[in-house]
Structure 1
Amino acid sequence: MAETNGAAAFFTASDGQLVPSADASSPWAPDMMHGRLFGGLLARALECEQAGPEFHFTRLTVDLFRNTKLEPVRVETQRVRDGRRIRVADATVFAGDTPVARASAVLLRRGEQPTGTVPATKGWDAPTPAELGPARVDFTGWSPPFDVWLLNAEGEMTDDWRANGTRRSWVRDHHELVTGESMSPFVRVALAGDFASPLANYGDKGLEFINADYTLTLSRLPLSDAIGMQSSGHINEDGIAVAECTVHDTSGPIGFCTVTAVCNPITH
């Protein structure tokens, strides 16, 4: 797994709450919690309280409907449906008594693989992080507390978010989410899912859309610490955008991530 390099965790568990560190801040404001961390906390709670060895987290939708300051939060989960082949569960992040984000997860029971062939998404030819070398540290005026490799259509590292054509990236967390806990593959990909929005929504005047949610659909969990994304679509009208990315690990494609976003201009 990825080295933490002595970096502080994003949260510390204390008296039933999760206390954020300074690294949990958002690029939108230094005293605002980063929305991607809600996805990680929701996935962590769902995995801890609602998972089963025979079930796979096939879909995770994270709704980011309210900002919160860097203050303690807690997560509650609820099982909505428990059938023979499908399990549905919800989770909510609270800041005090106020809900600030929620998730819905669908878990499907693993079974025998069909023998027929269906046209499938092909793997990409992007170089791996090991082949690319050190990640970029600062690429938009904000130094992310995770590793990012931004690639152009030719698979070369770049700082140009405004480039046309296929956009690709690798993202790798090197902080623990919660002090003393190893980050699971499900939590890792849930954290990375939020990155689909800037990758697909960045325009020639900067990031003018901020995502309201993201949905991961996963055929399997990642086998590598680095999560790859390739932007595969963006449409916008009347200040509202929808976008999608294909999600990879270093072994190949594992699923998709779709986002909805609303106009909120910010330039770099």
Structure 2
Amino acid sequence: MASPAYFTPSGGRFAPAPHARSWWAPTMLHGRLLGGLLARTLEAEHGAPGLRFGRLTVDLFRSAPLEPVEVTTVRIRDGHRIRVAEATASSAIGLIARATAVQLRAGEQPPGRVPATPDWDAPDPLTLPPAKPGSMPQRWRFNEGDTRRIWLREPIALVDGEELSPFVRAALAADMASPLAHGSDGDLEFINADYTLYLSRPPVGEHIGLQSGGHTSDEGVAVGLCTVYDRLGPVGYSATAAVANPGVRPPRRPRAAEQAAG
């Protein structure tokens, strides 16, 4: 049986479930869920037929407690071919995150040939064995040297009673660019400060793929990039900035214990 939704609407706010916690601290809300909640509200209040979300930038500028979140939005620009909106998230401690979204009007594809992002040869996610118990989102990882690839599937509703849209599904997965691009072989010692998701089209299906494309860091400041895929091919990119956070996360558990606990 699937776990309860990560958030339940309550009095104009979104109350998080216990399993919405971050892996950095049990009393902290997971950043990817906060980004997903901002994306969900932007789509619900500003999405429109014929417009596609081409960019979503999520700023995670404060650790969010595992407490009810209020999301408000404002439309910044509304033109014939572009719509820009902003969402902010607040809790009892004040403002905790912000997101801006750019929607572009779909139209005729130009005939000229341009350099294209190649498809990848990761296994079809529908042929993969079951994911490890307790892993949320469900994940299948494939490392080849410095290139890291992962398939992700979110089986839990973000908000109670709502299906995940393709855009929100991509927004939830995009935050994983940080551990994929910034993680070391032993652990993750950079905490995400923001991420930007670029999409040329909505992803198809429940599986979102990420492939690391680069990482640079110096004196505790890191930037990274991943290509985003669905089962049909590349759909966009996720870029992230992060800051070193060594020694904050509890020591990594042995592999056997990690699989058992999820």
How many residues get paired?
249
- Percent identity reads 55
Alignment of 1:36-185 (within 5 A): 36-96=32-92, 98-137=94-133, 143-153=134-144, 164-185=145-166
For the Cα contact (< 8 Å) 1:171–1:226, is it kept in 2?
A: yes
Partner residue of 1:199?
Answer: 180
> Any gaps of 5 or more consecutive residues in structure 2?
253-262
For residues 96-140 of structure 1, the C-alpha deviation after alignment (integer angstroms, 9 at most, x for no partner) is 361101101111111111011101001100002221211134xxx
How much has 1:20 moved relative to structure 2? Answer: 0.6
Q: 1:211 aligns with which of 189, 192, 196?
A: 192
Tell me what 1:158 maps to. Answer: none
- Whole-angstrom CA distance in 2 between matches of 1:209 and 1:252: 29
Counterpart residue type for residue 126 of structure 1? A
1:11-50 mapped onto 2 (5 Å cutoff): 11-50=7-46
What is the CA deviation profile of residues 38-70 of structure 1, one whole-angstrom value per residue up to 9, with x for unaligned ones?
A: 111011100011111011000000000111221
1:25/1:33 contact within 8 Å kept: yes
Aligned-pair Cα RMSD in Å: 1.2
AA aligned to 1:166 is: T
Amino acid at match of 2:171: A
1:159 corresponds to:
none
Structure 1: how far apart are the matches of 2:192 and 2:8? 26
Amino acid at match of 2:101: A
State the distance in 1 between where 2:117 and 2:128 align. 24
CA deviation map 1:145-188 (0-9, x unaligned): 320111122xxxxxxxxxx4210001111110011111111111
Q: Which moved more, 1:97-106 or 1:111-120?
A: 97-106
Q: TM-score, normalised by structure 1?
A: 0.90
Q: Deviations over 1:17-56 (max 9, x none)?
A: 1111011001111111101011110111000111110110
Deviations 1:217-268 (A, max 9, x none): 0000110111000001000011100000000001110000000010101452
> 1:56-91, CA deviations, whole angstroms, 9 ceiling, x for partnerless residues?
000000000111221111110110011111111100
Question: What is the CA–CA distance in structure 2 between the aligned matches of 1:54 and 1:96, rounded to whole Å?
Answer: 37
Asked whether 1:238 is paired with 2:194, we answer no
Q: Which amino acid aligns with 1:226?
A: H
**5 Å matches for 1:243-258?**
243-258=224-239
The amino acid that maps onto 2:82 is I
Equivalent pair of 1:23/1:145 in contact (CA under 8 Å): no
3-state SS of paired residue (1:207): coil
Equivalent residue letter for 1:122: P
TM-score w.r.t. length of structure 2? 0.92
Contact 1:214 1:257 in 2 (8 A): yes
Question: Residues 189 and 227 of structure 1 are in contact (CA less than 8 Å); yes or no, is this contact kept in structure 2?
Answer: yes
Give distance in 2, aligned partners of 1:129 and 1:30: 30
What residue ranges of structure 1 are gaps of 5+ in the alignment?
138-142, 154-163
Distance 2:63 2:135 in 1: 19
